[in-house]
C-alpha cells in the first residue's frame, strides 16, 4: 500500500485493492445479505445511513451514546477481513509500538443514495484501536479528513474496490466525513475493519 504524506496523520491507500469484478460481487452480496438497519438517534431522528455491525463476541462499543453489539460474522466479511489484514502494512502497527493484531470487528455503512452521509467525527472511542481499514464499494464517495482547525487535510473520491487505512494519531488529530451528494442516486457501501479491546 502507498503511504499518503499528511503531517500529523498516518494514511495508507490502495486504489485497486479488489478487482472490479470481485468488488461488484461483494457489493451485491453485502447489499442483499447484511442486516442493514437505520439506527435511531437520541433526538427522535435517525442516522442518515444504514449500518450493520459484525464482530467477535465481546466487541461491543459505544458511539454517540448508542451501543454497537456485534452480529456473528458472515463468511464474505471474514474472508475479506483476512485479505485486509494481509494488506495492512506492518508499519501501521510498528510505528505506534503495537504488535500486529487482527481486526476483530467491522462496521458496514450503506449510503442508499447521495442524501445519506456521515458527519464529521473521529473514531477515537477508548476501546478502539488506532488502526482502521476502510474498504469502499459502489460508485465513488468523497471522503474528507479535516484538522482540528477545520482545514481539509485530505479529500479523495474513494473508488469501488479501494482500501484506505488510518493509523497512528490520525483519529486524535483529524476528524473525517462523507458529505451528502444529492446528485448521486446509486447505493454505496463502506466497510471499516477495527480492533476493539474489551475494557
Site residues (vs ligand AKG, CB under 6 A):
107, 109, 118, 123, 134, 141, 143, 176, 178, 190, 192
Nearer to ligand AKG, 93 or 116 (CB): 116
Provide the minimum distance between the beta carbon of 199 and ligand AKG in the complex, in angstroms, as a whole number: 20
Interatomic CA distance for residues 96 and 130, integer angstroms: 9
Provide the minimum distance between the beta carbon of 144 and ligand AKG in the complex, in angstroms, as a whole number: 10
Residue 199 neighbours by CB distance under 10 Å: 8
Provide the minimum distance between the beta carbon of 197 and ligand AKG in the complex, in angstroms, as a whole number: 17
Nearer to ligand AKG, 67 or 97 (CB): 67
CA distances from 117 to 1, 133, 144, 184, 187 (A): 27, 19, 12, 12, 11
DSSP helix/strand/coil, 51: strand
Provide the minimum distance between the beta carbon of 134 and ligand AKG in the complex, in angstroms, as a whole number: 5
How do 118-121 and 141-147 pair as beta strands? unpaired
The residue at minimum Cβ distance from ligand AKG is 190
Amino acid at each position: 500500500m502507498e503511504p499518503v504524506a499528511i503531517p500529523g496523520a498516518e494514511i495508507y491507500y490502495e486504489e485497486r485493492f479488489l478487482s472490479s469484478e470481485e468488488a461488484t460481487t461483494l457489493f451485491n452480496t453485502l447489499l442483499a445479505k447484511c442486516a442493514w438497519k437505520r439506527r435511531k438517534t437520541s433526538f427522535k431522528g435517525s442516522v442518515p445511513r444504514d449500518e450493520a455491525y459484525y464482530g467477535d463476541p465481546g466487541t461491543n462499543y459505544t458511539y454517540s451514546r448508542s451501543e454497537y453489539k456485534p452480529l456473528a460474522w458472515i463468511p464474505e466479511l471474514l474472508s475479506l477481513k483476512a485479505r485486509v489484514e494481509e494488506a495492512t502494512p506492518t508499519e501501521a502497527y510498528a510505528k505506534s509500538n503495537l504488535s500486529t493484531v487482527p481486526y476483530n470487528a467491522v462496521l458496514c455503512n450503506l449510503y442508499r443514495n447521495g442524501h445519506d452521509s456521515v458527519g464529521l467525527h473521529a473514531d477515537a472511542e477508548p476501546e478502539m484501536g488506532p488502526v482502521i481499514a476502510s474498504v469502499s464499494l459502489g460508485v465513488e464517495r468523497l471522503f474528507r479528513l479535516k484538522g482540528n482547525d477545520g482545514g481539509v487535510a485530505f479529500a479523495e473520491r474513494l473508488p469501488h474496490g479501494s482500501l484506505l487505512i488510518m493509523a497512528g494519531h490520525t483519529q486524535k488529530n483529524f476528524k473525517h466525513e462523507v458529505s451528502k451528494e444529492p446528485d448521486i442516486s446509486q447505493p454505496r457501501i463502506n466497510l471499516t475493519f477495527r480492533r476493539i479491546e474489551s475494557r
